[in-house]
Structure 1
Amino acid sequence: MPKIVFTIMLFVLTIGNTQAQDKPEAFETVEKLLNFLSDADHENMRGTVTESFLLLEHGEVWTIEDLIKAAKPSDTIRTNYYSIIDFDERQDLVTINYWNKANFTSKSKSQDVYWLESAILKKVEGKWLLSQLHSTRLPSGKMPENVVFSQ
């Protein structure tokens, strides 16, 4: 009986470790930035990026201040979903490639928008901060095939 319990525990731990590695800890910073963006929480947006942060947004180069100017309070609710493609984590640097889906819901409609994104994060004083975010919006109506998103 103890051998069966041990085998089950080992299996559960293996699955848990595999899932944890499918999403690096640093990705929480990306999620926070996009949630703060959704809430037009400018101060907390600044707290997720390095001083030299750049956003390469659909063919334009933005600073955090440019992004903040675009983040305006709205009655539309944005819910973010992600699918990690891959990542490379080194001591104080992580690169992450992922799909981003945002659902925008208002009183009259609901719309999904998709992006292909990559992020570079640096660990600064023990905290993961975005150094660069590259975001390419997919054409309206086009969504990635065979991608499973999670919130």
Structure 2
Amino acid sequence: MLIKKSIVALGMFLFLSQPVMAEMDKEFAPVEEIFDALSAFDHDGMKSAVTPSFVLLEHGEVWDIQKLIEAVKPAEYQRRNFISVISKDVKADMAVINYWNKAVFKSGDKTTERAWLESAVVVKTENGWLLEQMHSTRIEFENLPKDLEFTEI
């Protein structure tokens, strides 16, 4: 009987936690959207992932979305993006997400990896969750923590 009650309790917990998990995906969606747009050189997609007041703190420089767009020029390489989330903190209509970011660039036979320590502030708007701010610090790949597990996005 105790096992049956435990299984029912576990089932109820999983059922009730699904909306929370789905909501967390919504909060992280603009981060994924901007990286997908970066990889596709999709400037409209980049704009649609951010608020009008978006700011990017890029390795000691302050960028707006236009400066980011100017830096992302169509090229002959392919970019794959990988994330390892450190933490997420959600408070009503705002979330702060801290993560490690890794990109793999492939051009012909040449492959290059780059890494960053990043954070994102996302806000819930009438158009859904959007990026308000990102902070990005380049990290030498060999200086990443050795136990990181990245997920491709």
Q: TM-score, normalising length from structure 1?
A: 0.85
Q: Does 1:122 align with 2:123?
A: yes
Aligned to 1:45: 46
Query: Cα RMSD over matched residues?
Result: 2.8
- Report the more deviating stretch, 139-148 or 28-37: 139-148
CA distance in 2, matches of 1:67, 1:126: 22
Aligned to 2:33: 32
Aligned to 1:58: 59
Aligned to 2:75: 74
How many equivalent residue pairs? 149
Q: What's the CA shift for 1:24?
A: 4.4
CA distance in 2, matches of 1:9, 1:82: 33
CA distance in 2, matches of 1:12, 1:37: 40
Q: TM-score, normalising length from structure 2?
A: 0.84
Change (3 A) 1:126 1:68: closer
CA distance in 1, matches of 2:129, 2:45: 14
CA distance in 2, matches of 1:28, 1:41: 16
Q: Which has the higher helix share?
A: 2
AA aligned opposite 1:10:
L
Point out where structure 2 has 5 or more consecutive residues left out of the alignment.
none
Aligned to 2:7: 7
Secondary structure at 1:137's aligned position in 2?
strand
